[in-house]
Amino acid sequence: MVEAVGWISFYGLSPAIDFFKHTGIDPCDDDREINILLSDCADLRHIFRSITDQLPLRKSKREHKLNIWIHERNLECIARDLLFLTLICETNYSKRERMELFLDLYANTMIRDKTDAYLQSTTNELIQLVTEDERCQSVIKPIVHFDNLKFKERDELEDVISSYYNVHPFDIERMRDDRLRHFFADRYDVRRNMVDWDYNFEVKNLCPFMHIQEYKDWRLTGLAFEMRLASNTTPNRTMGSYVPGNDVSLLFYSNPA
């Protein structure tokens, strides 16, 4: 499974948990300043789960801060965290539209033109956020801080976010096909049979609500979530990553095969 993920895991392989249940702290009754450290989670699923589980229980506003520290080995994951946190906090979009934008960017290799338009409009805002530009009007500016990032890491994070611009060529379909060829090796020509085997003997019992055709489409094409009748024709540049080598830096696509 780890081999199939690739160089960088852009989403976690475990269910979302409410981390307060494992700390012995009840944030509804304990009003002290609380610090939570999340390391190598790959996405924000635990934060979303914990906050949404606790918000309905809050009867009054906290007087002290709830600090969530995020540690990731790969800055590409931090960049996506900032993007999704911005999307969740956007109020100019309906809940359904935010949901569709989230799912599209979260797991689809090819996204809708509408989703790409949102990504392009948000990229410059994220760059201003990371560089602490005074012109930044990001909705998450008051709640996100980069005090513990070195200036070199900020520059690298800015480079990652800058790669979201559609002026950069990114043939994600060819890269995904290369990944599939490497993953299946000499079984590439019978990959459809291999995917069918995986579903019936591995996935079906664990996820009975997942339809076999949806699973096959995701495994073979990278389309995890289909949005109504929209066509997905634009590469999802948030799934691009740079892997440094001895002589050159190559642009890789990272996503489970």
User: In what helix (H) or strand (E) does residue 197 lie, and over which residues does it extend?
Assistant: helix 191-198
Q: What total of structural domains would you count in the chain? A: 1
Asked whether residue 62 is domain-assigned, the answer is: no
3-state DSSP helix/strand/coil % of the chain, to nearest 5: 50, 10, 40
CA distance 120 to 116: 6
Each of the 257 residues of the chain gets a pLDDT tens digit; together they read: 555 666 788 888 888 998 888 777 777 777 788 889 999 999 999 999 988 887 766 666 777 888 999 999 999 999 999 999 999 999 889 999 999 999 999 999 999 999 999 999 999 999 999 999 999 999 999 999 999 999 999 999 999 999 999 998 899 999 899 889 988 999 999 999 999 999 999 899 988 888 999 999 899 999 999 887 788 999 999 998 876 655 554 455 555 54
Has this prediction a pTM greater than 0.75? yes
In b/e form, how buried is each residue of 131-163, taking b as 16+ CB within 10 angstroms? eeeeebebbbeeeeebeeeeeeeeebbbebbeb
Asked whether residue 141 is domain-assigned, the answer is: yes
Asked whether residue 115 is domain-assigned, the answer is: yes
- What local confidence, expressed as pLDDT, does residue 233 receive? 92
Asked whether residue 34 is domain-assigned, the answer is: no
Asked whether residue 140 is domain-assigned, the answer is: yes
Asked whether residue 41 is domain-assigned, the answer is: no
* Token pair for 103: 């799912």
CA distance 127 to 57: 35
Residue 85: which domain range? 73-257
Chain centroid to CA 1: 18
Residue ranges of alpha helices (H) inside 108-190 are 113-130, 151-162, 172-184
* Token pair for 170: 């990114």
Asked whether residue 53 is domain-assigned, the answer is: no
Residue 85 near residue 125 (C-beta atoms within 8 A): no
CA distance 127 to 194: 42
Closest CA to 189 of 207, 176, 171, 177: 177
Asked whether residue 96 is domain-assigned, the answer is: yes
CA distance 253 to 178: 9
Beta-sheet strands, E only, within the chain:
34-39, 66-71, 110-111, 234-235, 240-244, 249-253
